[in-house]
Structure 1
Amino acid sequence: MFATSSNSELREIISNRDDILKSLSGSPKTKPELISSVEKSRSTIDRAIESLGAYHCVKKDENGTYCLTKTGRIALQTYQDFNNTIESLSNSHNIINEVPPEFELGYEFLKNVEIFEAKEGVPELVLSKRNKIINNSDEFRGLAAVAFSSYPETLLAAVKENDVDLEIVSNPSLIEALYQINKETIATLVSHENTTILVTDRDIPESLWLTNGSDGPHSGITVHSNGGIVGVLINNQQAGVERAEEIYSQYREAAARELTAANLEELEASP
């Protein structure tokens, strides 16, 4: 392994020469081709090749062109992933900071996350991307943390019109609140053969969801503050989906019973 000072030097070289690495990641190039590709002087290219070669990121092949080594490709990917994650944090700090500490998103979820911030005056418009993903999926599983009147209608439409298999985990107080808002929709949703609504006494701090379908798996978190929507975080990368799956499973396993039509009748009969 490199010494600590060498680690620091390598990070600086990758940061300063990432344009060279990007150019070579497409195809091997001669020095004149690199000069044209990155629009740098010959002396700059010479220094870049020398420094990257010293750390085994670039080599000269049998054709006399320069190409990335495996080390070079991994170094470039790592650098790009780091920059993407930092950009995500910078662009979404006001949303991420509202995610409760119970949801440890970690690097896995924040890497390559898509960020949708709610707009003042029309906050629910930010849900359009999520709703599109739901309607294009075969399966939707979610933790319901906040009661919005549009939520049951969105899910019922997905179930009835797009034949989506639905599983929701929520707590009794939220289910009762949603039922009082829209009794007919909730009753239809509960009785539909594609729907499973599970009840847990465990507090659900935020609305997390997972889908699967022809567009592949997606995961997301609808972030709220003071009862309103702050934004939506969506990740369709394997590591992000797996992290969301881990969180969902913790609450799914704590769900002790399934909501039935009989339970709704009990709510109706209660004073």
Structure 2
Amino acid sequence: MVPQSDGEALREVIYKRYTILECIGDSRKTIPEIVTDSQKSRTTIDRSIKSLESHQLIRELEGRQYELTNKGKLVRDEVKDYNAFIDSLAGTTDLICSLNDVEQIPRDVFRDAEYRIADPKAPETCLQYISDILKSATHFQATSTVAHTYLIDIICSTISKNNTKTEITAEKDIIESLAQIRKDNLKRIASDDSVDFFSVDKPIPYTGWVIDTPSREVGVLILHSGGGIKGVVMNDSQQTIDWLRKFCDRYQSDGTLITESSIQDL
């Protein structure tokens, strides 16, 4: 039997025989059934069974049926998650590569996420789905790294009307830039009792949103390139929500609350 510590040999057999683990799944199957379901030759299946048994990934039962061991189930699930993660990234290379310090973002944010690539001719249209979710939001928390007016427009047109509890944290120079083009709107937001607007002196690496509605929570990363919208990563997993909340809280705690008078002075 191959020693349990021989990780290289285990990885090799998983690479070669994973489809058989997936074929057996949570059932019990005979070799003829595995041959039929996997559409592989009897010789290939015999070799696979021998290799998988030697690594204690499957075991033989009465009637020459085979099932996965606990070790086999763990291996199958891990490879399945890995494949799903790679599949989710396959069509989003440009989008992911536009992120700063992507290694600081938990991989769960990208696993099973929904990606929306911006149309260069109308980049903000990729936010329409999120805007629709915000119409029923009860709480909205966000950071802002780019002086785009879409956030101001969303707050004024949707969030303020619904008295949604809102917390926005933006870099100081972003707020100054927005004040040059939308000062009246910023003053209106700052005077709204349901909105807290914070300014921070240090750079914020990501534009992150957390949206609470009566039926769901959604975490959003808005990706930028050259000041424009590159695309959106959306995920409603609890891991994503928790990470984005902590991220927003961290910068918000270092921020200074913006008032109507402070915007007037910009």
Compute the TM-score of the two structures, normalised by the length of structure 2. 0.83
In 2: Cα distance, 1:186 partner to 1:176 partner: 10
Aligned to 1:141: 141
Q: Distance in 2 between matches of 1:11 and 1:136?
A: 48
| Aligned position for 2:152 | 152
Alpha-carbon distance in structure 1 between the residues aligned to 2:86 and 2:265: 50
Q: More deviation in 43-52 or 238-247? A: 238-247
In the other structure, the counterpart of 2:258 is 259
Q: Name the counterpart of 1:247.
A: 247
The residue type equivalent to 2:23 in the other structure is S
Q: Answer yes or no: is the 8 Å Cα contact 2:26–2:67 preserved in 1.
A: no
CA 195–8 in structure 1, closer or farther in 2 if over 3 Å, else same: same
Residue aligning to 1:56: 56
Give SS of 2:251's match.
helix
Alignment of 1:189-228 (within 5 A): 189-228=189-228
CA drift at 1:67: 2.2
Partner of residue 22, structure 1: 22
Number of positions where the alignment pairs a residue of Structure 1 with one of Structure 2 = 264
RMSD: 2.8
Cα distance, 1:103–1:187 mapped onto 2, change above 3 Å: farther
How far the C-alpha of 1:168 sits from its partner, in A, is 0.7
- Partner Cα separation in structure 2 for residue 157 and residue 101 of structure 1: 33
8 Å CA contact retained: 2:29, 2:66: yes
The one-letter code sitting in structure 1 at the alignment partner of 2:86 is I
- Aligned sequence identity (%): 26
Could you tell me which residue of structure 2 aligns to residue 37 of structure 1? 37
Alignment partner of 2:104: what SS?
coil
Structure 2 residue matching 1:17: 3-state secondary structure? helix
Matching residue's letter, 2:42: R
Asked whether the equivalents of residues 187 and 264 of structure 2 are also in contact (C-alpha less than 8 Å), the reply is: no
Tell me: CA distance 1:215–1:51, structure 2 relative to 1, closer, same or farther (3 Å): farther
Give the distance between the partners of 1:103 and 1:252, measured in 2 at CA: 22
Q: Deviations over 1:215-263 (max 9, x none)?
A: 54332221112111112222333333333344333312211x2122333
Q: CA deviation at 1:197?
A: 1.3
CA contact (8 A) 1:168 1:198 kept: yes
Partner letter of residue 222 of structure 1?
I
Letter in 1 for 2:217: P
Secondary structure of the equivalent of 1:182? helix
Equivalent residue number for residue 91 of structure 1: 91
Segment drifting more, 100-109 vs 140-149:
100-109
CA, structure 1 residues 124+69, in 2 after alignment: closer, same or farther (shift >3 Å)?
same
Match in the other structure for 1:2:
4
Contact 1:137 1:215 in 2 (8 A): no
CA displacement, residues 117-148 of structure 1 (integer Å, 9 cap, x when unaligned):
22221211222343344345432211111122
Higher mean alpha-carbon deviation, 79-88 vs 67-76, is at 79-88
Return the letter of the residue paired with 2:237: Q
Distance 2:153 2:259 in 1: 18
Shift of residue 62 of structure 1? 5.5
For residues 216 and 248 of structure 2, what CA distance do their matches in structure 1 show? 18
Counterpart in the other structure of 2:71: 71
Q: 1:69 to 1:165 in 2, by over 3 A?
A: farther
Moved more, 41-50 or 219-228: 41-50
CA contact (8 A) 2:199 2:258 kept: yes
> How far did residue 88 of structure 1 move?
4.2
Judged with a 3 Å threshold, the aligned counterparts in structure 2 of structure 1 residues 34 and 100 are, in CA distance, closer, same or farther, namely same
Q: Quick one: distance in 2 between partners of 1:168 and 1:251?
A: 10
The equivalent of 2:123 in structure 1 is 123
What whole-Å deviation, never above 9, does each CA across 1:131-189 have from its counterpart, x for those lacking one?
34434543221111112222212233442455532111013332233244334443333
Greater shift, 17-26 or 218-227, is seen at: 17-26
- Distance in structure 2 (CA, Å) of the matches to 1:103 and 1:157: 35
TM-score (norm 1): 0.82
In 1, are the aligned partners of 2:26 and 2:68 still within 8 Å (CA)? no
Judge conservation of contact 1:163–1:194 (CA < 8 Å) in 2.
Answer: yes
